[in-house]
Amino acid sequence: MDGPQQRLGAACPPNSAFYICPNQPSGFLGCCGIDPCGSGDGTCPWERLASATFNASAYDLIPAQGCMDAGSQWYTCAYTTPPFMGCCVENACAKGGGCAQELVRAARLSGRPEAARAFTLGWRGAATVEKSGEASAAGKTNTTREGEAAEGQMGSGVVAGIVAGSVIGGVAVFALLMLWWRGRAKRMGRGQGSETATESSFVQSVPRGCARGCGCYRDSMRRQEPLKPVDAPYLRSKAAFGHEGQDAWLSRALPPRPIDAVELEDATTRHR
């Protein structure tokens, strides 16, 4: 489980470290230039005290703790530069820079277990704690490098995704255009074929010599009259009429011819 350095971002200036002494009567809490947990009374000399800072985003996780000096008070200031937590003689949150070094006082764990637990939870002892300033700087550097690497990977991934999406979209649009063009070409080919067939059949049905087309053809059809039966009596046989009928027909069909005088004379001569 993470200790207060990782969970709260507790850190100290150079040449000091963050200590918690829960097993000492003093219950020291804060930054010190020496290990107060190893001293007899578990306190940090005034000249070795240092201001403690924290991660401002963990402000709600830090309850008020106690102070060893009755003239000081615990402050948790998220909006100072840097954020300040600890005991100060004056209001450390009222100034942008926190508590001045000469006004910092030693802090101790709260007498309420639930409040003290915010710092003691995950605490592994002073022997495992590195210099908070160096640890904080190293952690910040590693975090920055990891963040830059993650941003670089994210940027490369986003660019690759955009390129791939653009290529796929272009191929899809091209395929749709090709399908549309082929369908249109087929429809146009079918329409031209039907028009050609209709025109050729119509031209063949128009009589030759009719240069005006359909109107001429219809006029020629109207001008034609049905054929009437031809009466050809000369083709009829004698059997159909008989002798009397044939003589009557001949008398009607052939006009009378005058008889020449020569024929009469020859006839008279013959009778003599």
Residue 13 C-beta-side C-alpha neighbours within 13 Å: 11
Q: What is the mean pLDDT of residues 247-271?
A: 55
3-state class of 63 per DSSP?
Answer: coil
Are residues 99 and 75 in contact, defined by beta-carbon separation less than 8 angstroms?
A: yes
**Mean pLDDT for the chain overall:** 74
Residue 63 has pLDDT above 80, yes or no: yes
Helices (H), the chain: 4-8, 113-120, 132-205, 214-223, 238-253, 261-271
Residue 201 has pLDDT above 50, yes or no: no
Residue 264's pLDDT band, with cuts at 50, 70 and 90, is low
Residue 189 has pLDDT above 60, yes or no: yes
CB proximity list for 124: less than 8 A, separation 6 or greater: 3
Are residues 131 and 139 in contact, defined by beta-carbon separation less than 8 angstroms?
A: no
Q: What is the pLDDT of residue 20?
A: 95
Give the residue with greater pLDDT, 14 vs 151: 14
Sequence spans of domains, the chain: 4-129
Least confident of 5-14, 34-43, 260-269: 260-269
Residue 108 has pLDDT above 90, yes or no: yes
Q: What is the pLDDT of residue 203?
A: 45
**CA of residue 20 relative to chain centroid, distance:** 55
- Sign, CA dihedral 182-183-188-190, equals positive
Spatial distance between the Cα atoms of 107 and 62, rounded to a whole number of angstroms: 14
Spatial distance between the Cα atoms of 80 and 104, rounded to a whole number of angstroms: 15
Kindly report the pTM of this predicted structure. 0.47
3-state class of 104 per DSSP?
Answer: strand
Cβ neighbours of 261 (radius 10 Å)? 8
Buried b (16+ CB within 10 A) or exposed e, 31-45: bbbebbbebeebbbe
Residue 142's pLDDT band, with cuts at 50, 70 and 90, is very low
Q: What is the mean pLDDT of residues 79-108?
A: 93
Q: Which of 117-121, 194-198, 263-267 has the highest mean pLDDT?
A: 117-121
pLDDT of 209-240, one tens digit each? 555 555 555 555 555 555 555 555 554 555 55
